[in-house]
């Protein structure tokens, strides 16, 4: 089939120009994933599913409201773009997701696995607990032994199945000769089972089967909570990554092929449409346009692009189509070279030890020593191996970190849930703890504090006749400045004049004829104006001096409130941008930031953050561009908006999902509160231990006391965590 | 006390039944979209006959 297409292509010169895609892969039912951020109710589900199923070629479409996603089985000829159009017609925002990046099935399996273990542990612990109640309330002799044997028959297989995550984690820690929280847990479970079996065989009074199972159940509950929190964050983060489907249009023999970026080679000619991002480093071979470099350098002024200009991957093409010849692809592009800088910065970041790890480091050896001492003491005093082993097992069970296992996950689940509803995604498990310590906040300007969208400032300086002509010219162009000018003029009630022969000259502007005179709206040097430091478009009417329309980058919603809140809570604020001093100074004055740096290179930013860290400050870096990536990685904790480039989002710990900046200030407060709750939870768990351990060492810890201490401490800790909400 | 010989297996059996039911719900992916499922029940779309697969 491929040959046929080529033959017909060669036979008919007219066909050559038409885009033809040759697919080597055999057709298979496409699994398309769409992100639907705006669905929220039953009516939306029905509408979306009905709309998608009615589309020809769609076999089956199902909406997942929890993940706000639709999965579609369709014929290979149905593309995601068709379905996005269908949904947009129905009034739903939809984005294509890369189904391979999502790998939903794998993560689902881990969650279901954990849930299954939790269910088995819950079932077994409840049954054994019921049998134990009979024993506690005074069953004796044969009945007690029978109940103990039944408990053993339930407990042994149940623990063998459900405690596997702890066994594995403890083994992996021990095999590298280290202790983690799971080592005392596993030791306690195994020792409890052995002594209980032994006691049962000797028809003894105390068996700890219920304690071993309840312990497993509570700890698994903590693990599952932790997993859920991370799964939600991970799936949303994958969704962001999957939003950028990396494809490029390669020109070969004047035919357009849409190919994955990974398949591009040096020397390829690549077509970049207006609004598209450069997939490779290269030189412009054909076409005129303007380039937006703000994500790479922080400068807001678009750069004029003509053949011969060097372009870097990541720059956005604004007006006209460009044909670029690749000089570096994939790992060699400047975009990827920045990644090396990030790696260096990350190695400089001091490795943060989480509160849970700190507690485990203190706790694990202490428990083992205490239990061993109790064993030795009782053995020397009574000379009875059985009593000594029983006491040692009781000490291990009582001190077992049931509440400690819940202390951190319960709080972080509650806090991340609260922040997720406000539009913040916590990517890293320890990010909240680190955020709580922050005393200095460093901001990037373009795209972070500002929306990255130009706004017209001097509308009132112009005569309404000029505005009408400018509006007519601006309406014909999709350039960001034109779009902004159109919006501002229409909002002010200006009507467009009748301008004829309107023609957009890519890279320069738009021109037309008005009452026989040539009118132009565009770059300063094209219409005869003098370019200034500020972003501007110029209007020229033949026979009159050119007029300047000035633009500034508008502030993001909530930015000034956030800065004020942060300053009130005593944090030091620093603004660092790669933009020109005038623009940075204006913004700093507007927001009341005293400390600002302009013209900073990526290295400058990272070095400044490292210097602040060395002075003992805990730095929060907020940035979105590639030029911020190294600084984001070097900071104690970092936040980037969802509009940021992939690399910046990967380097940061927290992603801000909405346009609004104010959640950042809230997040700092929530983080402080959450860390306080974690510490409180550790104190609660410690108090329980301080009361229960002497009882255990003295030999008074019956299985009943162990069960009571364990349950009450776990429940108190969970309730305390919920106060964060 | 001989009644225990019946009651314990019976209670364990009932518990196991519950566990099997739960395992079935997990395996058939009934916890994948809790929010959506709770709202789908409000739709009258497939009230007369089940949705054909």
Residue A528 in any domain: the answer is: yes
Is the Cβ–Cβ distance between A456 and A482 less than 8 Å?
Answer: no
Chain B residue with minimal CA distance to A121?
B19
pTM, full prediction? 0.69
- Is A606 inside a domain boundary? no
- For residue A326, the enclosing domain spans 244-330
- The dihedral through the CA atoms of A75, A78, A80, A84 has a sign that is negative
Burial A555-590 (b: 16+ CB within 10 A, else e): bbebbbebbebbbeeebbbbbbbbbbeebbeebbee
CATH number at residue A277: 2.70.150.10
B6 in contact with A, Cβ within 8 Å: no
- Answer yes or no: do B15 and A126 touch at CB < 8 A: yes
ipTM of the complex: 0.80
Instruction: Give the residue on B whose Cα is nearest the Cα of A126.
Output: B15
Contact A65 B39 (CB under 8 A): yes
Residues (pLDDT < 70) of chain A are 1-30, 97-108, 232-246, 295-300, 330-331, 334-353, 400-403, 533, 626, 643-647, 649-650, 725
Interface contact B40, partner A, CB < 8 A: yes
Most B-contacting residue of A43, A73, A112 (CB-CB within 10 A), to test interface: A112
Q: Among the three residues A554, A573, A598, which one is the final residue of a domain in this structure? A: A554
Look at residue A2 in the predicted model and tell me its pLDDT: 39
Query: Which residues, in sequence order, are bridge partners of residue A278?
Result: none
**Is A709 within a domain?**
no
Whole-angstrom CA distances from A38 to A88, A89, A90, A445, A576 are 11, 14, 12, 29, 34
Distance separating the N- and C-terminal Cα atoms of chain B: 53
Query: Which residues of chain B have a CB within 8 Å of the CB of A42?
Result: 39-40, 42-43
Which whole-number Å values give the CA distances from A594 to A131, A199, A380, A567, A599, in the listed order?
69, 72, 70, 11, 17
Q: How many domains does chain A have?
A: 2
- With respect to residue A461, please indicate whether it lies within any of the assigned structural domains: yes
Query: pLDDT value at position A3?
Result: 39
Q: Give me the pLDDT at residue A340, please.
A: 60
A707 phi, psi to nearest 5 deg: -65, -40
pLDDT at A30: 57
Interface touch B36/A45, C-beta < 8 Å:
yes
CATH value at residue A492: 3.40.1110.10
Yes or no: say if A723 and A676 are a contact pair by the CB < 8 Å rule: no
Q: Is residue A502 part of a domain?
A: yes
Q: Are the C-beta atoms of residues A131 and A147 closer than 8 Å to each other?
A: yes
Task: Report chain A residues touching chain B, CB-CB < 8 A.
Answer: 41-42, 45-46, 63-67, 108, 112, 115-116, 119-120, 123, 126-127, 130, 143, 146, 150, 154
Q: A58 forms bridges with which residues in the sheet? A: A74
Spatial separation of the C-alpha atoms in residues A626 and A312, rounded to whole Å:
12
Whole-number pLDDT of residue A27: 46
Q: What angle do CA A511, A514, A516 make, to 5 degrees?
A: 110
pLDDT at residue number A157: 92
Name the burial class of residue B47, with classes exposed (0-12), middle (13-18) and buried (19+) by CB atoms within 10 angstroms of its CB: exposed
Which of B15, B19, B26 has its CB closest to that of A115? Answer: B26
Query: Of A520, A554, A588, which residue is a domain's last?
Result: A554
> What distance in Å separates the CA atoms of residue B18 and residue B24, rounded to the nearest whole number?
10
3-state secondary structure of A106: helix
DSSP codes of every residue in A569-594: TT-EEEEE-SS-HHHHHHHHHHHT--
Q: What does the pLDDT read at residue A265? A: 82
Residue reference for tokens 């060395």: A614
* Closest alpha carbon within chain A to B44: A46
Q: Indicate whether A669 belongs to any domain.
A: no
Q: Is residue A309 part of a domain?
A: yes
Last residue of a domain, one of A525, A554, A583: A554
User: Using a CB-CB distance cutoff of 8 angstroms, which residues of chain B are in contact with residue A105?
Assistant: none
**Interchain pair A112, B27: CB under 8 A:** yes
Q: Which helix (H) or strand (E) holds A637?
A: strand A637-641
Rounded Cα distance between A539 and A525, Å, is: 11
* Closest Cα in chain A to B17: A123
Per residue in A454-507, pLDDT tens? 788 887 788 888 888 888 888 877 777 888 888 888 888 888 888 878 887 777
Give the active site residues of A. 444
Residue at A474 is within a domain: yes
């Amino acid at each position: 089939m491929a040959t046929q297409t080529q033959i017909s292509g060669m036979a008919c010169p007219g066909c050559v120009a038409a885009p033809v895609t040759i697919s080597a892969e055999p057709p298979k039912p496409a699994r398309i994933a769409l992100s639907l951020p705006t669905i929220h109710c039953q009516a939306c589900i029905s509408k979306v599913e009905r709309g998608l199923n009615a589309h020809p070629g769609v076999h089956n479409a199902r909406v997942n409201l929890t993940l706000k996603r639709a999965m579609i089985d369709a014929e290979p000829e149905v593309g995601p773009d068709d379905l996005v159009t269908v949904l947009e017609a129905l009034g739903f925002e939809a984005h294509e997701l890369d189904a391979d990046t999502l790998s939903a099935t794998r993560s689902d399996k881990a969650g279901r696995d954990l849930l299954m273990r939790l269910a088995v542990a819950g079932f077994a612990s409840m049954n054994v607990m019921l049998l134990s109640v009979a024993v506690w309330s005074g069953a004796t002799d044969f009945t007690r032994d029978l109940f103990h044997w039944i408990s053993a028959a339930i407990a042994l297989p149940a623990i063998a199945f459900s405690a596997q995550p702890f066994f594995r984690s403890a083994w992996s820690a021990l095999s590298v000769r280290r202790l983690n929280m799971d080592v005392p847990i596993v030791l306690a479970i195994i020792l409890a089972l052995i002594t209980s079996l032994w006691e049962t065989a000797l028809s003894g009074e105390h068996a700890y089967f219920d304690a071993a199972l309840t312990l497993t159940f509570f700890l698994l509950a903590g693990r599952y909570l932790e997993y859920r929190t991370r799964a939600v964050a991970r799936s949303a983060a994958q969704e962001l990554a999957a939003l950028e489907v990396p494809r490029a249009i390669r020109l070969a023999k004047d035919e357009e092929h849409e190919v994955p970026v990974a398949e591009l080679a040096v020397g390829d000619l690549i077509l970049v449409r207006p609004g598209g991002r450069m997939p490779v480093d290269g030189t412009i071979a054909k076409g005129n346009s303007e380039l937006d470099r703000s994500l790479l350098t922080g400068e807001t002024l678009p750069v004029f692009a003509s053949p011969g200009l060097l372009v870097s991957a990541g720059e956005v093409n604004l007006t006209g189509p460009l044909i670029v010849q690749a000089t570096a692809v994939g790992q060699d592009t400047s975009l990827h070279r920045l990644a090396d800088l990030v790696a260096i910065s990350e190695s400089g970041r001091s490795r943060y030890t989480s509160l849970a790890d700190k507690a485990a480091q203190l706790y694990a050896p202490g428990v083992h020593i205490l239990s061993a001492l109790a064993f030795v003491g009782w053995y020397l005093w009574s000379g009875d191996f059985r009593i000594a082993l029983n006491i040692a097992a009781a000490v291990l069970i009582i001190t077992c970190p049931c509440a400690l296992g819940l202390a951190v996950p319960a709080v972080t689940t509650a806090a991340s849930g609260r922040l997720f509803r406000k539009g913040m995604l916590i990517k890293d498990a320890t990010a909240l703890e680190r955020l709580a310590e922050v005393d200095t906040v460093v901001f990037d300007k373009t795209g972070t504090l500002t929306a990255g969208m130009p706004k017209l400032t001097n509308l009132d300086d112009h005569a309404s006749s000029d505005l009408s002509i400018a509006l007519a010219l601006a309406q014909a162009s999709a350039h960001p400045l034109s779009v902004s000018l159109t919006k501002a003029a229409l909002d002010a009630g200006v009507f467009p004049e009748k301008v004829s022969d309107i023609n957009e000259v890519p890279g320069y502007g738009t021109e037309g004829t008005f009452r026989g005179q040539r009118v132009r709206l565009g770059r300063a040097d094209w219409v005869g104006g003098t370019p200034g430091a500020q972003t501007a478009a110029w209007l020229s009417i033949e026979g009159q001096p050119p007029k300047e329309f000035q633009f500034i980058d508008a502030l993001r919603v909530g930015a000034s409130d956030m800065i004020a809140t942060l300053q009130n809570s005593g944090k030091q604020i620093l603004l660092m941008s790669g933009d020109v001093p005038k623009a940075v100074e204006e913004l700093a004055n507007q927001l009341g930031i005293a400390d600002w740096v302009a013209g900073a290179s990526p290295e400058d930013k990272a070095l400044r953050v490292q210097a602040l860290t060395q002075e003992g400050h805990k730095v929060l870096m907020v940035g979105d561009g590639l030029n911020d990536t190294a600084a984001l990685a070097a900071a104690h904790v970092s936040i980037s908006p969802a509009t940021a480039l992939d690399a910046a989002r990967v380097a940061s710990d927290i992603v801000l999902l909405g346009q609004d900046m104010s959640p950042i200030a809230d997040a700092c407060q929530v983080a402080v509160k959450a860390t306080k709750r974690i510490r409180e939870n550790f104190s609660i768990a410690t108090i329980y231990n301080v009361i229960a351990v002497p009882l255990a060492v003295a030999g008074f810890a019956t299985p009943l006391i162990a069960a009571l201490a364990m349950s009450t401490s776990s429940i108190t800790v969970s309730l305390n965590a919920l106060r964060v909400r | 006390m001989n009644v225990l010989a019946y009651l314990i297996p019976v209670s364990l059996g009932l518990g196991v039944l519950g566990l099997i039911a739960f395992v079935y719900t997990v395996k058939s992916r009934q916890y994948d979209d809790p929010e959506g499922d709770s709202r789908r029940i409000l739709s009258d779309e497939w009230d007369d006959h089940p949705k054909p697969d």
